[in-house]
Amino acid sequence: MYAPPIQRLIAELSRLPGIGQRTAQRLAFHILRESDEDATALAAAIREVKEKIGTCEICFNLAEGPRCRICLDDRRDPKVICVVEEFGDIIPMERTHEFHGRYHVLGGALSPIDGVDPEDIRLAELYRRVTGDEVTEVVIATNPTTTGEATALHIADELHHVAPDVTVTRLASGLPVGGDLEYADEVTLGRAFAGRRRL
């Protein structure tokens, strides 16, 4: 139905996550309608991001050079490492302004069913950092999902062996602030109950 260049653009767009065939078609039509400058700016931005942005050699966060902004920042405490699944998880953590240490991006969570084993995520690199540096605490901030929890338990276990003096902590699970008890699922509510604090 479409000329080959249009077909190719629709195919490339529909490879993006959450973009189906129809959305890809709508986006392609938009690109066809917009000015050459706007379309070129989008193409250039894609190329630029791949050329200029790499991975931090220490924590595997996104970085413009060999090291990311956080690892380059002397004010960040190198004694505390927060472990996250993906680099996208760092931004919401930073928004809290609660954490002043450094990060470690695993690049995924353990999931034997999907074939993600310990050697497929950056665990060896984490253990090397924890044993080599002056680290005192590792905060495990993997997602509160089955795979995230399994990953957290696995890391805690390993760290107790390779670095017994390091404190290993996990982000609290419980009721979201502003949430309604009536609508909380029982797992979350159970966690909130188990993690209750004296007032």
Q: Which residues lie near a copy of itself (CB under 8 A)?
A: 1-3, 5-6, 8-9, 11-13, 15-19, 23, 25-32, 36, 38-50, 52-53, 62-64, 69, 86-88, 91, 94-95
Closest approach of a copy of itself to the CB of residue 13, in Å: 7
Closest approach of a copy of itself to the CB of residue 84, in Å: 13
Closest approach of a copy of itself to the CB of residue 168, in Å: 27
Nearer of residues 86 and 137 to a copy of itself, judged by Cβ: 86
Q: CA–CA separation, 3 vs 151, rounded Å?
A: 47
Closest approach of a copy of itself to the CB of residue 193, in Å: 32
Retrieve residue 94's tokens. 């930073």
Nearer of residues 42 and 187 to a copy of itself, judged by Cβ: 42
Nearer of residues 29 and 193 to a copy of itself, judged by Cβ: 29
Nearer of residues 97 and 161 to a copy of itself, judged by Cβ: 97
Q: Who contacts 42 (Cβ-Cβ below 8 Å, separation ≥6)?
A: 31
Q: Which residues of 57-141 form beta strands (DSSP E)?
A: 62-63, 80-84, 102-105, 137-140
Nearer of residues 102 and 170 to a copy of itself, judged by Cβ: 102
What radius of gyration, in Å, describes the C-alpha atoms of the chain?
A: 21
The pairing of strands 102-105 and 80-84 is parallel
CA neighbours within 13 Å on the CB side: how many for 136? Answer: 4
Closest approach of a copy of itself to the CB of residue 144, in Å: 19
CB 67 within 8 A of CB 57: yes
